[in-house]
Chains A and B, each alone.
Chain A
């Protein structure tokens, strides 16, 4: 449930950043040490799409999977849980790479990008904890039988 909430907040942040990137929100300017610097750098685009738009896709996927995992039908599906773990691991790694670029290549920090990175890492931690819980429950059931 916590994962769905984090994914939803991440989706809102990614939507805001995408609207900023395409010029619906804010000004397109160059100034020192700000979101504009990050958003106007070449790193703000990935395979032809704004990085924030990829973020929307990522959070939609995480939200869908985390909601599915709260339903009776899917909550015990190990494959889906593994998928959730891999998806959030990818999100966390990608976010850490972007934060590295901000700090050491672009030399500017966009606060909303940092919020998104924290959410991605938080989602990965939740996924790891869920996976561990399921693993422990499974091993208890195995030893009981």
Chain B
């Protein structure tokens, strides 16, 4: 009896050990596997859309970067706050130009309002300060924080130095709705599946890139542009 019990306990520990080892091997394999970002090539010459996005930098820079992003997406916020300061340095050095396209996702309740707020800031030449303010304050106006984001967005308009009355009339009539829709339609045309997604040179790369990754893709695109 005692021997049987010992055997069954031995088998139990062996089973636990086997499950633990197999599980850890599986997790280590997934963690060590290089991230396949699902990079695809895009033919930018075949761009029939009217989408303009919002340009930062010199449009004749050797490498053109486009970002498709949703103001309410936490991953886009992470990119904007952690990586974008380094992106701005590349823009200042005229190595790249950067164009932001709205890609509001249906699952985010207030993202259209944020895109609307940013488009109306662009009317006064302050898209980028508003872009930065929106991401910095994302947790104050997003769908989890409020059902009525306008008062927070109005505060941001004031914070970035807009003529708030003008901004408000633009915001209320959704003056640039078609512009935002065109930006999104451009993303749909090239099959954007998630945000943020970047097009660097002719490569489409999804995910909140780190500074190192971003610079590596820019260097690759610069080298490819030099070969042409």
* B105 / chain A contacts, CB cutoff of 8 Å: 30-32
* A136 / chain B contacts, CB cutoff of 8 Å: none
Q: How far is the CA of A87 from the CA of B109 in the complex (A)?
A: 37
Closest Cβ of chain B to A100, distance in Å, is 16
Interface positions of A (Cβ within 8 A of B) = 1, 4-5, 8-9, 12, 15-16, 19, 24-33, 36-37, 40-42, 70, 107-108
Interface stretch among B11-19, B93-101, B119-127, B216-224? Answer: B11-19
Interface check B27, CB cutoff 8 A: yes
Q: How far is the CA of A27 from the CA of B36 in the complex (A)?
A: 9
Interface check B147, CB cutoff 8 A: no
Majority secondary structure of chain A interface residues (helix, strand, loop or mixed) = loop
| B27 A12 Cβ-Cβ under 8 A | yes
Q: A9-B19, A30-B105 are in contact. Are A16 and B73 (CB under 8 A)?
A: no
| B206 A27 Cβ-Cβ under 8 A | yes
Interface check B226, CB cutoff 8 A: no
Interface string of B13-37 (1 = CB under 8 A from A): 0011001100110110011000101
Interface check B92, CB cutoff 8 A: no
Residue on B nearest A67 in the bound complex, by CB: B16
Q: A5-B15, A29-B75, A30-B74 are in contact. Are A24 and B31 (CB under 8 A)?
A: yes
* B78 / chain A contacts, CB cutoff of 8 Å: 28
Closest Cβ of chain B to A53, distance in Å, is 15
| B75 A40 Cβ-Cβ under 8 A | yes
Interface check B180, CB cutoff 8 A: no
* B194 / chain A contacts, CB cutoff of 8 Å: 27, 29-31, 36
* B206 / chain A contacts, CB cutoff of 8 Å: 27, 29
| B31 A19 Cβ-Cβ under 8 A | yes
| A16 B107 Cβ-Cβ under 8 A | no
Interface positions of B (Cβ within 8 A of A) = 9, 12, 15-16, 19-20, 23-24, 26-27, 30-31, 35, 37, 70, 73-76, 78, 105-108, 139, 144, 193-197, 206-208
Q: How far is the CA of A109 from the CA of B142 in the complex (A)?
A: 20
Q: How far is the CA of A35 from the CA of B142 in the complex (A)?
A: 19
Closest Cβ of chain A to B207, distance in Å, is 4
| A4 B16 Cβ-Cβ under 8 A | yes
Closest Cβ of chain A to B28, distance in Å, is 10
* B207 / chain A contacts, CB cutoff of 8 Å: 27-29
* B139 / chain A contacts, CB cutoff of 8 Å: 42
Closest Cβ of chain B to A37, distance in Å, is 6
Closest Cβ of chain B to A48, distance in Å, is 14
Residue on A nearest B74 in the bound complex, by CB: A40
* B26 / chain A contacts, CB cutoff of 8 Å: 12
Q: Which of B27, B107, B108 contacts A19 (CB 8 A)?
A: B27
Residue on B nearest A105 in the bound complex, by CB: B144
20 CB < 8 A contacts A-B = A1-B12, A4-B16, A8-B23, A24-B31, A25-B27, A25-B31, A26-B35, A27-B207, A27-B208, A28-B207, A29-B208, A30-B76, A30-B107, A30-B194, A31-B105, A31-B193, A31-B195, A36-B75, A36-B194, A42-B139
| A37 B107 Cβ-Cβ under 8 A | yes
Closest Cβ of chain A to B205, distance in Å, is 10
